[in-house]
């Protein structure tokens, strides 16, 4: 039923529909409302699970790891510094191939300290071996959370559902919360193939010698690559039940004659999509929603970019000293294919900076260059920057921002 | 699309006001979106929340830059530079103040209506929380939604004594205001 709900409230209600047996989380802005709402559901008898108060994110991740190893369906959520604190455990969860679902309420990383939204936190654990799915709106957050359990349990890989902090978690909007029967039909009870059993004792997480380590890593890598099929079918099957798809691996929206593409992750997609309608005079443009970031859908990307002359990769994070994180992977994915758009790498909206509708026009201005410019954070206020940022030359005049 | 910016201080129910307005509109068939522009949440600090209402789905996530309406929960916030920034030329301001609307006419070019919302809230709730009184006045002045829609939105969030007292408060707050005074801006 469609209701006007805050994103966090909707996510909490959705988690309840998925019937996790164990939930553990440590509060951190902007994830807090999710866990508060789960605690309320448990306290009011509307959710039957073991909700464990823990003393840190490290403990939260460790606890759900243990519970999942014992065969429980579990849930946790965090953000920013919390993700970093649990990162050691995140690698363990993935390496042990334990199905766990967590929400990352995306937030910037300190320092400088910021409680606001960007995606540096989930990017920081990109290589932990989790599936990462990004949501453009709260409906997708709901639908993707449900799908995440199926994907995790079928692939025996953990899934991180990335939801922009504040921008989605604290926004109230119409959201359809599915019926319990729909979720039950889609998501059978969890039976972990390797659940710990005292009648048949085994050890997990033991020392692996050089004789076997490479094979374990190989299998983990290929499990992620193979998860592509399950991510697609989980979305297609949920669409059959709910009437809604969340975009599979990579969703492309735009006219056939579009020669420009803009690739994004997360909620900025909505702003760009409405801005495209507001600026019909600008060249035809396709919007690419990168939903699955891990596994990286290189094949789908090559197909999507076939007709582009220009591809803008717009990110909410960066690799200092290099530049665009996703852009570098896009470069590498397209290097050996026939699709050869010029790739423009930009970051925007770091640490919660508002991303106005005008960004769409700015992007179109930015790509009117003979050669793609180096990576740039395009919404910086140039007048606030020290001269060192510009080397020995005087600061460039920024026509796009002017 | 109608865009509203709500200014207040932490503890005045700024975000709840935005959520209530969006919920009331959603229940009446509107597409609605409400969200805060938080600082680190703390009582007394200036806070801002936004509401968008439209007859089609709202996809943009940016802050409201050129609102049609301002709701200002604390008169002293008028001293904050830029508080009316971006307000459309025919935009209207609803201000929580015990002073008359006319007394602000010299300093503010926009259409402004005042409501002694803190006083009304203290009277009815025993607490100086002005948000629901202002929302009731906003709905009356704009004529965007049926007056009863606010009560229904309150029922989704509150119950018992708090709900009953708020219902009495929103009735009192709307009394005496000209229904549809801001209709033109609301329908623009």
Q: Is A210 exposed, middle or buried (0-12, 13-18, 19+ CB in 10 A)?
A: exposed
Asked if A271 and B18 come within 8 Å (Cβ–Cβ), the reply is: no
pLDDT tens string A92-136: 999 999 999 999 999 999 999 999 999 999 999 999 999 999 999
With respect to residue A397, please indicate whether it lies within any of the assigned structural domains.
Answer: no
With respect to residue A362, please indicate whether it lies within any of the assigned structural domains.
Answer: yes
With respect to residue A396, please indicate whether it lies within any of the assigned structural domains.
Answer: no
For residues A256-269, give the mean pLDDT: 98
Residue B144 tokens read as 């965007």
Range of the domain at B127: 2-187
pLDDT tens string A151-204: 999 999 999 999 999 999 999 999 999 999 999 999 999 999 999 999 999 999
Measure A216 CA to nearest chain B CA, in Å: 42
The answer for residues whose C-beta is within 8 angstroms of residue A56's C-beta and 6 or more apart is: A26, A85
Residues A225 and A326 in one domain: no
Whole-prediction pTM value? 0.96
Query: What is the 8-class DSSP label of residue A374?
Result: P
Residues A97 and A226 in one domain: yes
**Total CB pairs under 8 A between chain A and B:** 64
pLDDT of residue A392: 54
Residues A46 and A119 in one domain: yes
Question: Which of A4, A29, A171 faces B35 most closely, judged by CB atoms?
Answer: A171
CA nearest A82: which of A129, A114, A121, A112? A121
pLDDT of residue B110: 84
Residues A141 and A39 in one domain: yes
Range of the domain at A264: 250-390
Question: Which of A172, A173, A354 faces B62 most closely, judged by CB atoms?
Answer: A354
Residue where one domain finishes, among candidates A189, A209, A242: A242
Residues A256 and A220 in one domain: no
pLDDT tens string A364-384: 999 999 999 999 999 999 999
Cα angle: A280, vertex A285, A287; to 5 degrees: 120
CB contacts of B19 in chain A (<8 Å) are: 4, 6, 172
The ipTM is 0.96
Q: Give percent above pLDDT 70 in chain A.
A: 97
With respect to residue A263, please indicate whether it lies within any of the assigned structural domains.
Answer: yes
- Give me the number of domains chain A comprises: 2
The answer for residues whose C-beta is within 8 angstroms of residue A207's C-beta and 6 or more apart is: none
What CATH code is carried by the domain that includes residue B77? 3.40.920.10
Residues A129 and A234 in one domain: yes
Measure B26 CA to nearest chain A CA, in Å: 7
Instruction: State the Cα–Cα distance between residues A108 and B10, nearest whole angstrom.
Output: 23
Measure A8 CA to nearest chain B CA, in Å: 12
Residues A213 and A258 in one domain: no
Residue where one domain finishes, among candidates A242, A272, A298: A242
* B158 interface with A at CB cutoff 8 Å: no
Instruction: State the Cα–Cα distance between residues B28 and B24, nearest whole angstrom.
Output: 7
Residues A46 and A171 in one domain: yes
For residues B117-140, give the mean pLDDT: 97
Instruction: State the Cα–Cα distance between residues B7 and B50, nearest whole angstrom.
Output: 9
With respect to residue A37, please indicate whether it lies within any of the assigned structural domains.
Answer: yes
The answer for residues whose C-beta is within 8 angstroms of residue B109's C-beta and 6 or more apart is: none
pLDDT of residue A78: 98
pLDDT of residue A402: 41
pLDDT tens string B65-102: 999 999 999 999 998 888 999 999 999 999 999 999 99
Residue of chain A whose Cα is closest to the Cα of B33: A173
Instruction: State the Cα–Cα distance between residues B123 and A86, nearest whole angstrom.
Output: 49
Q: Is A91 exposed, middle or buried (0-12, 13-18, 19+ CB in 10 A)?
A: middle
Residues A177 and A148 in one domain: yes
Residues A208 and A292 in one domain: no
Measure A268 CA to nearest chain B CA, in Å: 7
Residues A48 and A189 in one domain: yes
Residues A46 and A176 in one domain: yes
CB contacts of A169 in chain B (<8 Å) are: none
With respect to residue A400, please indicate whether it lies within any of the assigned structural domains.
Answer: no
Instruction: State the Cα–Cα distance between residues B1 and B58, nearest whole angstrom.
Output: 9
CA nearest B113: which of B126, B104, B125? B104
Question: Which of A3, A115, A271 faces B61 most closely, judged by CB atoms?
Answer: A271
CB contacts of A167 in chain B (<8 Å) are: 35, 61
Residue where one domain finishes, among candidates A223, A242, A261: A242
Strands B2-9 and B46-54: antiparallel
pLDDT at A388 over 70: yes
Cβ A28 vs Cβ A56: under 8 Å: no
> Tokens 């605690």 — which residue?
A39
What CATH code is carried by the domain that includes residue A181? 3.40.50.970
């Amino acid at each position: 039923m469609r209701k006007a709900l805050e994103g966090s409230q909707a996510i909490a209600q959705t988690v309840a529909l998925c019937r996790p047996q164990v939930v553990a989380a440590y509060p951190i802005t902007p994830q807090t409302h999710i866990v508060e709402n789960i605690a309320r559901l448990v306290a009011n008898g509307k959710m039957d699970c073991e909700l464990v108060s823990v003393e840190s994110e490290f403990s939260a991740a460790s606890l759900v790891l243990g519970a999942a190893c014992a065969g429980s369906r579990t849930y946790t959520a965090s953000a920013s510094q919390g993700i970093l604190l649990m990162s050691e455990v995140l690698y363990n969860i993935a390496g042990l191939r334990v199905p766990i679902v967590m929400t990352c309420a995306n937030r910037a990383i300190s320092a400088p300290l910021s409680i606001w939204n960007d995606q540096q936190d989930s990017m920081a654990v990109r290589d932990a071996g989790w599936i990462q799915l990004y949501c453009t709106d709260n409906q997708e957050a709901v639908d993707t959370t449900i799908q995440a359990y199926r994907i995790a349990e079928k692939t025996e890989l953990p899934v991180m559902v990335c939801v922009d902090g504040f921008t989605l978690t604290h926004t109230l909007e119409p959201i359809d919360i599915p019926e319990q029967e729909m979720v039950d039909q889609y998501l059978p009870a969890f039976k972990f193939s390797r659940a710990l059993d005292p009648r048949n004792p085994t050890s997990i997480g033991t020392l692996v010698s050089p004789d076997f380590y490479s094979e374990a890593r190989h299998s983990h890598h290929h499990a992620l690559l193979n998860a592509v099929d399950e991510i697609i079918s989980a979305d297609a099957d949920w669409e059959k039940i709910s009437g809604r798809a969340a975009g599979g691996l990579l969703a492309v929206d735009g006219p056939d004659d579009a020669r420009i593409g803009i690739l994004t992750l997360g909620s900025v997609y909505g702003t760009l999509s409405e801005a495209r309608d507001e600026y019909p005079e600008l060249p035809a443009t396709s919007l690419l929603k990168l939903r699955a970031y891990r596994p990286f859908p290189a094949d789908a990307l090559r197909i999507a970019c076939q007709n582009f002359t220009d591809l803008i990769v717009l990110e909410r994070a960066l690799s200092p000293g290099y530049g665009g994180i996703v852009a570098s992977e896009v470069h590498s994915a397209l290097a050996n294919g026939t699709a050869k758009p010029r790739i423009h790498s930009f970051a925007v909206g770091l640490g919660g900076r508002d991303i106005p509708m005008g960004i769409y026009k700015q992007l179109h201005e930015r790509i009117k260059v003979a050669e793609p410019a180096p990576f740039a954070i395009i919404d910086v206020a140039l007048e606030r920057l020290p001269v060192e940022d510009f080397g020995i030359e005087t600061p460039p005049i920024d026509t796009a921002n002017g | 699309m109608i865009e509203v910016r709500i200014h207040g201080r932490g503890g005045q129910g700024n975000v709840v006001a935005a959520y209530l307005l969006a919920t009331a509109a959603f229940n009446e068939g509107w597409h609605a979106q409400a969200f805060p522009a938080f600082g680190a949440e703390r009582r007394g600090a200036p806070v801002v929340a936004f509401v968008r209402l439209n007859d089609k789905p709202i996809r943009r996530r940016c802050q409201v830059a050129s609102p049609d309406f301002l709701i200002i929960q604390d008169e002293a916030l008028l001293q904050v530079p830029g508080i009316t920034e971006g307000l459309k030329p025919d935009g209207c301001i609803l201000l929580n103040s015990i002073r008359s609307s006319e007394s602000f006419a010299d300093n503010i070019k926009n259409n402004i209506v005042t409501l002694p919302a803190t006083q009304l809230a203290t009277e009815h709730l025993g607490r100086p929380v002005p948000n629901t009184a202002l929302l009731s006045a906003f709905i009356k002045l704009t004529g965007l939604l049926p007056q009863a829609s606010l009560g229904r939105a309150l029922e989704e969030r509150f119950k018992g004594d708090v709900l009953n007292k708020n219902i009495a408060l929103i009735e009192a707050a709307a009394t005496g205001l000209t229904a549809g005074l801001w209709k033109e801006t609301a329908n623009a």
